[in-house]
Structure 1
Amino acid sequence: MPEIKKFQVTFDCAEPERLARFWCEVLGYVVPPPPKGFDTWEDYTRSQLPEQRGSWFACVDPSGVGPRLYFQRVPEGKRVKNRVHLDVRVGTGLVGEERLAVLEAECARLVALGAVHVRTLYDGNDACIPMLDIEGNEFCVD
């Protein structure tokens, strides 16, 4: 049996810390402690060369189960549809109107954080809500 490996999900973005903090709110993730040798993230940032400041940020699942999310600044903006996206699973096991209500409530919470509601897909039994994060990356409330 092959060994199971840990992985992180990396986002290319314009504002790493801002996007990381958005996803902390979406997923209940937290900002990890600053790198070894620094008391705060501000201390760490001040130690970097000006052109490196704010070039990356990360967030983690406080339970240690979910993957680390890593956000890296890139010079180009988003141009095309994501080939991979996250599904925020809030309606697992629910069907019909009950599922739709839970997904719509989560959608409303995320819109208040700056996400964009793209559309609601509902067939009377199953539902999914495609959305955009604060930098236009696609994700679904599922």
Structure 2
Amino acid sequence: MTRDVQITFDCADPAALSAFWAEALGYELQKPPGDFTSWDEALEALGVPPENRNDASAVVDPAGSGPRLFFQRVPEGKQAKNRVHLDVRAAPGLEGEDRMKALEAEAERLVAHGATRVQRFEPAPPMQSGHIVMTDPEGNEFCLD
């Protein structure tokens, strides 16, 4: 039996971090429930006080094939290196210099949206194709692969 997968991020600012990951992955913010035209309208109707309206956010793959990413506000900041991280497959099918050029272009694009570049790993055939380690705006590690 298969299961749907949701990836959850603990964070300080769910709205901002979900907007970053929507941009990074080509995802979109999850639409509000029912006939509501905005999340503010839905949360108002549900009686959620204004100070709690950024407690959670989610992004979804518009094609419906990727996992949902859920962002929940927590009081504590990031403490240590992630034991699990996302690999953003930004250069599928490319090799060598073409692959690294594509990864560099994506790194530049994501830095403009708040990511931080950490380290570039050069290709080391036959097992390693090269990748770039990045962090999102709240310091969560991910790789451009």
TM value normalised by structure 2: 0.91
Q: Percent identity?
A: 52
1:22-72 deviation line (CA, Å, top 9, x unaligned):
101000100121122533111123330345321000000000000000000
Cross-structure match for 1:9: 7
1:70-81 equivalences under 5 Å are 70-81=70-81
Cross-structure match for 2:142: 139
Contact 2:123 2:131 (8 Å CA) reproduced: no
What's the secondary structure of 2:18's corresponding residue?
helix
Amino acid at match of 1:75: P
1:1-142 equivalences under 5 Å are 3-46=1-44, 47-123=47-123, 125=125, 126-142=129-145
TM value normalised by structure 1: 0.92
| C-alpha RMSD over aligned residues | 1.4
Contact 1:96 1:124 (8 Å CA) reproduced: no
Measured in 2, the distance between the counterparts of 1:61 and 1:71 equals 15
What's the secondary structure of 1:107's corresponding residue?
helix
Runs of 4+ off more than 4 Å: none
Measured in 1, the distance between the counterparts of 2:9 and 2:94 equals 30
Offset of residue 4 of structure 1: 1.1
Mean alpha-carbon deviation: is it higher for 72-81 or for 34-43?
Answer: 34-43
Contact 1:131 1:140 (8 Å CA) reproduced: yes
Measured in 1, the distance between the counterparts of 2:11 and 2:41 equals 23
Measured in 2, the distance between the counterparts of 1:33 and 1:84 equals 27
Amino acid at match of 2:135: L
Contact 1:45 1:54 (8 Å CA) reproduced: no
